[in-house]
Amino acid sequence: MEIIDGKKISAQVKQEIADEVSRMANEGKKIPHLAAVLVGNDPASETYVASKVKACQAVGIKSSELRYSSDITEEQLLEVIDKLNADEDVDGFIVQLPLPKHISEENVLNRISPDKDVDGFHPCNVGRMVLGLPTFLPATPAGIVELLSRYNIETEGKHCVVVGRSNIVGTPMSVLMSRKAKHANCTVTMCHSRTQNLKEITLQADILIVAMGVPRFIKADMVKEGAVVVDVGIHRIPSDKTKSGWQLVGDVDFEHVAPKCAYITPVPGGVGPMTIVTLLKNTLLACSRKHA
Ligand code: BQF
């Protein structure tokens, strides 16, 4: 069993991005600029935005954080987006999800200019991804493909089972793994909350990608010997094993599943850091595209 070290790989990719940014600067090109919009003060969202800003700083990408109170109206938020769309200096921006209940995520995502949509959530970019056209790939699925490829994990012809069908992870993940591309070419099965005999299907997975949002749901008896397991879940649960009184766990019961795997991603330090790295890559792409 080998642990897939997302932290290590993300550090390598960040170094490559930093080299590219400094090359751009030396050639007198514009420094890429990412803006992040944060609405409200959900602690997890605060952490995610802080990690993104910190990662930008580490690679020399300019960043701005725009914070608004959770009582901002949808109309006001749409105005913020219009301003960012029009801001010549901003190459790409994200609106941190989830948004407060009174704001339609759909309306917000539709308003982001597809050219600045570095999360790849605009319907235009989702469509381009499905068609295999160049676009901003969604951060978590693209980060997972990058991770598998950097570990030289064979995917061609393998049975990849994706558990979860969210717009952000499950759905794009199944699309990317089934593409006719070097680090894809899988036979993909997508499972979700209405799937019957889930265990029968997960047991067939050569590559099992879990994004269902239930802490430690995938148990050892649901995983084939020698499988590659990718855990997208991230949950903060109470623990008596840590000083802080809580710990992070994924959707996979790591302790019992890991011994059966050829490869497995840990939580934290697996998929999460790669999500951030894709965002940086997309920002670089947004900038070089605009100034090509
Ligand atoms: C790590 C996210 C659920 C809902 C909205 C590194 C991140 C997480 C973990 C991170 C996530 C999850 C992000 C680790 C961004 C991934 O070391 O394991 C980084 O910052 N993520 C998000 O922006 O919105 C979410 C999960």
Report yes or no on 171 lying in a domain. Answer: yes
The verdict on 48 and 93 lying in the same domain is yes
The verdict on 102 and 211 lying in the same domain is no
The verdict on 89 and 173 lying in the same domain is no
The verdict on 196 and 255 lying in the same domain is yes
pLDDT given at position 59: 98
Give Cα separations from 208 to 138, 172, 176, 260, 266 (angstroms).
19, 15, 14, 13, 14
The verdict on 152 and 64 lying in the same domain is no
User: Rounded to the nearest whole angstrom, what is the distance from the C-alpha of residue 245 to the centroid of ligand 1?
Assistant: 20
The verdict on 150 and 67 lying in the same domain is no
Report yes or no on 68 lying in a domain. Answer: yes
Does the CB atom of residue 125 touch ligand 1 within 6 A?
Answer: no
- How many CB atoms sit inside 10 A of residue 203's CB? 16
Report yes or no on 19 lying in a domain. Answer: no
Does the CB atom of residue 276 touch ligand 1 within 6 A?
Answer: yes
Q: How confident is the model at residue 292 (pLDDT cuts 50, 70, 90)?
A: confident
Active-site residue list: 52, 96, 119
C-beta separation of 277 from 59 below 8 A: no
End-to-end CA separation in angstroms for the chain:
44
Q: How far is Cα 256 from Cα 237, in angstroms, rounded to an integer?
A: 18
**Residue-wise pLDDT tens digits, 67-95:** 999 999 999 999 999 999 999 999 999 99
Q: How confident is the model at residue 18 (pLDDT cuts 50, 70, 90)?
A: very high
Q: How far is Cα 199 from Cα 13, in angstroms, rounded to an integer?
A: 35
**Residue-wise pLDDT tens digits, 169-180:** 999 999 999 999
Extract the tokens encoding 265: 């991603």
Counted domains in the chain: 2
Q: Which of 288, 16, 291 is nearest to 150 (CA)?
A: 16
* Atom of ligand 1 lying closest to residue 94 CA: 23
- Averaged pLDDT for residues 111-123: 98
Report yes or no on 80 lying in a domain. Answer: yes
User: Rounded to the nearest whole angstrom, what is the distance from the C-alpha of residue 89 to the centroid of ligand 1?
Assistant: 26
User: Rounded to the nearest whole angstrom, what is the distance from the C-alpha of residue 272 to the centroid of ligand 1?
Assistant: 5
Does the CB atom of residue 269 touch ligand 1 within 6 A?
Answer: yes
The verdict on 84 and 165 lying in the same domain is no
Q: How confident is the model at residue 238 (pLDDT cuts 50, 70, 90)?
A: very high
DSSP 259: G
pLDDT given at position 290: 85
- Averaged pLDDT for residues 129-142: 98
Q: How far is Cα 218 from Cα 199, in angstroms, rounded to an integer?
A: 9
Mean pLDDT, all residues of the chain: 97
Q: Which of 255, 259, 161 is nearest to 211 (CA)?
A: 161
- How many CB atoms sit inside 10 A of residue 213's CB? 17
Q: How far is Cα 70 from Cα 68, in angstroms, rounded to an integer?
A: 6
User: Rounded to the nearest whole angstrom, what is the distance from the C-alpha of residue 247 to the centroid of ligand 1?
Assistant: 15
Nearest CA to ligand 1 atom 14: 272
6-33 burial, b at 16+ Cβ within 10 Å, e below that, comes to: beebbeebbeebeebbeebeeeeeeebb
Report yes or no on 224 lying in a domain. Answer: yes
Report yes or no on 276 lying in a domain. Answer: no
- Averaged pLDDT for residues 100-122: 98
Does the CB atom of residue 272 touch ligand 1 within 6 A?
Answer: yes
**Cα dihedral across residues 189, 190, 191, 195: positive or negative:** negative
Radius of gyration over every alpha carbon of the chain, rounded to an integer in angstroms? 19
Q: Which of 289, 291, 277 is nearest to 61 (CA)?
A: 277
- How many CB atoms sit inside 10 A of residue 230's CB? 27
Q: Any idea what the CATH number is for the domain that residue 181 is in?
A: 3.40.50.720
The verdict on 53 and 104 lying in the same domain is yes
User: Domain of 93?
Assistant: 29-116
How many percent of the chain have pLDDT more than 70? 100
The verdict on 157 and 50 lying in the same domain is no
**Residue-wise pLDDT tens digits, 171-213:** 999 999 999 999 999 999 999 999 999 999 999 999 999 999 9
Report yes or no on 14 lying in a domain. Answer: no
The verdict on 109 and 143 lying in the same domain is no
The verdict on 74 and 197 lying in the same domain is no
Report yes or no on 277 lying in a domain. Answer: no
- Whole-model pTM over 0.95: yes
Q: Any idea what the CATH number is for the domain that residue 60 is in?
A: 3.40.50.10860
From 14, 49, 173, 234, mutation site for ligand 1 pocket: most ligand atoms within 8 A of C-beta: 234
Nearest CA to ligand 1 atom 21: 272
The verdict on 111 and 145 lying in the same domain is no
